[in-house]
Amino acid sequence: MMTCKTKKKNRWVCRKKTGSVLVLIIFVVLISLIIGTGLLALGTQTRVETLGKIQDIMAHSAADAGMEYAIQQINNTVKDGTWSPSVLPNAVNTPLSESDSTYSVMTQYSATTGYTVQSAGTNRNRTRNIAATLRLKGLFDMAIQCREGVVLKGGTVIEAIDSDISLDPDDTDEKAIIGTNSINAGSIVLNNNVKIDGDVVVGVGGDVGTVIKDLGASTLDRYSLSADVEFPTVEPPAFVGPDTLIEVKIGEKTIGGGGDYPASGRFSGLKLKNDCILRVIDNCVLYITGDVNMSNSSEIIVDTTGNASLVIYLDGSWISDNSSGVTNTTQSSSAFQLFGTGGVGQIIDLKAKGDMFGSVYAPNAILTVFSGGDLYGAFVADSFELKNPARFYYDVALKDASVLDEGAHYVISRWNEK
């Protein structure tokens, strides 16, 4: 009997132990199920959030595309000369290429505030809105603006004026900015005693202490650009001739209505012999496919009589010998404009017997300036060097572009997004 009872007791003990293990297994399974369900829910939530972020990005990209569409439509009309205040690009649920996103655009124009553009981008159930104010930008937002190097002779002073007010720098609060897109060491050389009443800027990410070689200059702020400066392409006018040489071999000749040469046209070159003068007596626009050669003591005079002006589109080089130069007697920076339309490495050497008034836009050119007096205007080039110390007054009036100005285009001035 004892053996049997002992066996029964052991079975009971075994059953008790087996039941405890079963409870433990069930508990572990339940915990695993809870954890697994939680992880699954967390993974699902993460995927939903990620999908939402992707849709946000795609909606934002669609809104950007709508804004770019509006700006491009406006600038197309500026470029082809058909712009008017009625140019108001609009779009409703326009599909974005290679995407399931759409954009809608509403554009308004005011003579006082200019353009305002609102763009909404949508991707499925996500929408992003962008609002921007546009301004008309010309070619001369800086005093000196280059792709590569800038060298200023010791003793040079750069200040800003507003010729719409006066030629006195005390009459404007604007500052003169010079800069380069380059980040290479020594791209800007400021020699001893250079004084700039304004800022010096270098290319995106550039170290101002490395890019600017300061040999004893004083400036205001120095910093790197947030985005590279763009250099719009300027196309020469579609003149058909006469494809002859403008030449003065002795004495003086005139260009303009009733003069020795017509006020506008395409010419193979311009050549002045020693001591000769070409007098501009009208509003003249020239496309010169060859070179400009100015011999010793020769001079181009933009005559104040009749409010004359001279605009030159130049494919070739501009070479100036000693004591030659351009004299703009109108004292208007916009009355002499030189557009370098040549390729990379174009050479432009400008001289002036006295004060020089004018602007040069030649983004592919090596531009060298020799002045016999003060400089008024603005310069854009691949590289720029001022060979002699001078006072250079950047004319901020050149920033006030109109849709008729060469290279004018609308850009974003203020931006807000939701």
The string of pLDDT tens digits covering residues 263-304 is: 999 999 999 999 999 999 999 999 999 999 999 999 999 999
Neighbours of 13 (CB within 10 A): 10
pLDDT score for 344: 94
Instruction: Indicate the average pLDDT of the chain.
Output: 90
Neighbours of 258 (CB within 10 A): 8
pLDDT score for 36: 62
d(CA 376, CA 265): 27
Tokens linked to 344: 């990379």
Contact 414, 115 (CB under 8 A): no
Q: Hey, which residues does 126 pair with through a beta bridge?
A: 123
Between strands 277-280 and 299-302, the pairing is: parallel
In angstroms, the first-to-last Cα distance of the chain is 89
Sign of the four-CA dihedral 78, 409, 367, 398? positive
Q: Which distant-in-sequence residues (6+ apart) come within 8 Å of 116 by Cβ?
A: 107, 108, 109, 110, 131, 132, 133, 134
d(CA 71, CA 411): 7
pLDDT score for 99: 83
Contact 334, 372 (CB under 8 A): no
d(CA 254, CA 404): 27
Q: Which distant-in-sequence residues (6+ apart) come within 8 Å of 40 by Cβ?
A: none
Distances (CA, A) of 66 to 59, 289, 409: 11, 40, 18
Contact 123, 58 (CB under 8 A): yes
Q: Hey, which residues does 336 pair with through a beta bridge?
A: 310
Contact 140, 407 (CB under 8 A): no
d(CA 362, CA 233): 10
How many residues does this entry show for the chain?
418
Low-confidence ranges of the chain (pLDDT < 70): 1-19, 21, 28, 32, 35-49, 51-52
Residue with tokens 């406006």: 74
Tokens linked to 31: 């915990």
d(CA 308, CA 330): 8
d(CA 335, CA 317): 21
Between strands 299-302 and 325-328, the pairing is: parallel
Neighbours of 209 (CB within 10 A): 11
Contact 232, 139 (CB under 8 A): yes
d(CA 163, CA 333): 8
pLDDT score for 39: 57
Amino acid at 241: G
d(CA 365, CA 369): 12
Residue with tokens 């000693």: 322
Domain residue limits, the chain: 1-138+401-418, 144-399
User: Distance of alpha carbon 216 from its chain centroid, rounded?
Assistant: 29
**SS3 of 408, please?**
coil
Q: Which of 366, 326, 367 is nearest to 345 (CA)?
A: 366
pLDDT score for 397: 95
d(CA 147, CA 188): 11
